[in-house]
Structure 1
Amino acid sequence: MSGKFKITSSHWVIVVALLAAGFACFLLVEPYINSIVMAFIISLLMFPIHDKIETRVGSQKNLASLLSCMLLSVIIVLPLLFVFAAIVQQGSTFSQNVYQWVTQGGIQALFEHPWIVKALSIINTYLPFDEIKPQEVGQKIAQFATSFGTNLVGISAKILGDATSFLLNFFLMLFVLFFLLRDHDTIIAAIRHILPLSRSQEDKLLEEVEKVSKSAVMGSFLTAIAQGFAGGIGMWLAGFQGLFWGTMMGFASFIPVVGTALIWIPAAIYLFLTGDTTWGIFLTIWSIAVVGSIDNLLRPFLMQGSAGMNTLMIFFSLLGGLHLFGLIGLIYGPLIFAITMVLFNIYEEEFKHFLDEQDQN
């Protein structure tokens, strides 16, 4: 460089105005930020496939991006529609079975089971709760089962609304993804030009964002799919609706600490209480040995590229992200941690001389 860059008051005016305009733009796109972020992350995952498509169609970037988006739609939307229809059918069957079981005296027979009688006796004797009376609990469960038909209408309407919202967000994400794939090189070049960092620092930051985005998606969502698939097989073998409960276990796997145990423990207890001891033992062993091992082995393996974060940091990034942002926080949390660590490394490099002097004093 021929000379030092000097910051003037006009520069500060431009920076402040730019920050204010940037914040206003953020407010405009905030309702759609999740779709934009997901489009960005999926573009990173899809770019190797898109690159091959682009090579085959030549210089027609619009056609290549369109084909990539259509391929993604076929991969995601069609299986989801099939799974959603099966879940609604199996969920409806399950609710009807529960209603019949309760109204035909199943709940009374359950409370007469020796294990339940003994457990209630211990609870009423030693724990500081009001006395639990089986008749009152049975009445409340029966009332819930009686009103379940009415509730099911409301639940179905909510599911339909959520599905409609999902489709709208998905098509918005596809729209953004189209431009991200088509203009990938231009966007990266613009980001590099704007960032006030050296080329090596930009490479490190962009590389880490890409790596963590991929590992967060793989670590969270692929683990959920794998656990849901394995759990569904176990539940189906034990006599439950496999697809419905497998899907529920997939969603439950996102819950920290508890995870899929939220589903399989009550199912195993039910099997023990109804006399299916063999299947209860099978489901317990299967859920611990197979479903549990997926979470313990697959998730850390898929997320091992997360900016050198150890298991504790990954856990808190997932837990905090889930708490602050909801399900999308499983991606945001590790991403925020990773960017912070990369920026901290850049800070260490830039101020290395000063920090070394501080250590010596």
Structure 2
Amino acid sequence: MNSPRSDAQDDAGGERGLTAEDIGFAVLVVGISLAAAYLLAPYFGAVLWGVVAAIMFQPLTAKLAERMGGRKNLATSIVLLGLVLLFVVPTILLGISIVNEATALYQKISSGQIDFGRIFQQILNALPVRLRNLVEEYGLTDFDNIRRQFGSSITSGLQTVAGRALTVGQGALSFIAALGVMLYLSYFLLRDGDRYGEMVRTSMPLHPGTRDSLIENFLLVVRATMRGTVVVGVVQGLLGGILFSVLGIEGALIWGVLMGFFSLLPAVGTGIIWVPVAIYLFAVGDTGKAAIVVFCGVFIIGMVDNILRPILVGRDTRLPDFVVLIATLSGLELFGLNGFIIGPVIAALFISVWNQHRHRRSAKLESDRTGLPVQTPALAAHAVEEASAHPS
């Protein structure tokens, strides 16, 4: 007579192998999951940011609900209102200001008030004689061509941003719908995040140790990316924008936003913006402002990354800088603004999965060599969970 354990295994297909019904159900699960992903594609960004908001602030919501005597609905509403006031409203106002400033800057370039050919000529005149001769030798003094190539790329970018002002009315309904989806999803994930997380965790077809390790890594990467990337980017962009505004540099708001954006990139960072500005100021003879830009860029804006990022991120993510750089750039290229989260998360999970594979392979080779069972941490956790579920 079969034991209950054997019957359970037989019912699950563990001893009799996969049947056509098992394979059919697996295909159904994969197919309906792909269909659901396709269905959510139009609101992918809204869903992504709703999940990110829940990952970041669900612990805060749980603590607040506990202090309020278990009133989860009220605690969730307070946290969600705080997110709207601290993030959503300032982002909308910033977007409107950027569009207005880009429109004004584009008009100045179109009218000739800002002439890139004249700017490059001023820089060339400020170069040492040897360097100037080298530039002329390589034919880099064709300012009409420079104006067409470099200037047109900047003006086209500004024209794109300025053109958004014309499409705001057309896209307002889609934007409101996406924002509503994000906030609505965030509310339920903040309130019931633990329950939904447990449902996802127990549904993953992985060994418990491997599954829990990957989930923990995923949560750590998302939180570290948001803390270390967004906070540092906002602070650096804010400092850069204030610096350029105080110095009277045209388009300070746009340059500040760009510095915040480029702070996502390791190694190069905000220097992509302030270094050319400093060079231009030196070239036109405004050495005082140029020196201020260099000093602030190196010792204030640059030090923000060195000081804040280790505090905010710590050792949550151990990704090499070159991996972060490639993953971020590729993510931005493939997914737009959402890519600065998706890229590092995929890279971190890729490394985590292959580390799990390496540990399993090493354990198997060691077991084959010694003839003794050697368990990886994931397998050990699985054994503990099995022992708890089926005590002798």
Bin for the TM-score computed over the shorter chain? 0.7 to 0.9
Please, which of 54, 65, 71 is the counterpart of residue 54 of structure 1?
Answer: 65
Asked if the contact 1:234/1:287 (under 8 Å) is kept, the reply is no
Query: Which residue pairs with 2:197 in the alignment?
Result: 188
1:8 aligns with 2:18: yes
Please, which of 63, 72, 77 is the counterpart of residue 66 of structure 1?
Answer: 77
Residue deviations 1:307-331, cap 9 Å, x none?
5434443333334333433332221
* Segment of structure 1 superposing worse, 216-225 or 140-149: 140-149
| 1:169-318 matched pairs, under 5 angstroms | 169-240=178-249, 242-255=252-265, 258-299=268-309, 302-318=312-328
Asked if the contact 2:222/2:341 (under 8 Å) is kept, the reply is yes
User: For 1:71 and 1:196, how far apart are their aligned partners in 2?
Assistant: 37
Query: Which residue pairs with 1:122 in the alignment?
Result: 134
Matched residue SS, 2:269: coil
Please, which of 317, 325, 340 is the counterpart of residue 330 of structure 1?
Answer: 340
Structure 1: give runs of 5+ residues left out of the alignment: none
Asked if the contact 1:39/1:176 (under 8 Å) is kept, the reply is yes
Residue deviations 1:82-131, cap 9 Å, x none?
4334434544554566567x459996587367326966653232x1x4x7
1:76 aligns with 2:87: yes
Query: Which residue pairs with 2:42 in the alignment?
Result: 31
User: For 1:251 and 1:325, how far apart are their aligned partners in 2?
Assistant: 15
Question: Residues 165 and 295 from structure 1, CA distance in 2 versus in 1: closer, same or farther, beyond 3 angstroms?
Answer: farther
Note the C-alpha offset of 1:72. Answer: 1.1
Residue deviations 1:43-93, cap 9 Å, x none?
111113212332355455444333332221111122224433443454455
The percentage of aligned residue pairs carrying the same residue is 25
* Segment of structure 1 superposing worse, 206-215 or 109-118: 109-118
* Count of equivalent residues: 357
Note the C-alpha offset of 1:334. Answer: 2.3
Question: Residues 144 and 226 from structure 1, CA distance in 2 versus in 1: closer, same or farther, beyond 3 angstroms?
Answer: closer
User: For 1:216 and 1:285, how far apart are their aligned partners in 2?
Assistant: 28
Residue deviations 1:122-158, cap 9 Å, x none?
3232x1x4x7344676799999999999888635335
1:132 aligns with 2:130: no
* Segment of structure 1 superposing worse, 154-163 or 272-281: 154-163
Note the C-alpha offset of 1:168. Answer: 4.0
Asked if the contact 2:102/2:161 (under 8 Å) is kept, the reply is no
TM-score, normalised on structure 1?
0.80
Asked if the contact 1:111/1:117 (under 8 Å) is kept, the reply is no
Question: Residues 123 and 213 from structure 1, CA distance in 2 versus in 1: closer, same or farther, beyond 3 angstroms?
Answer: same
Question: Residues 318 and 297 from structure 1, CA distance in 2 versus in 1: closer, same or farther, beyond 3 angstroms?
Answer: farther
Question: Residues 123 and 176 from structure 1, CA distance in 2 versus in 1: closer, same or farther, beyond 3 angstroms?
Answer: same
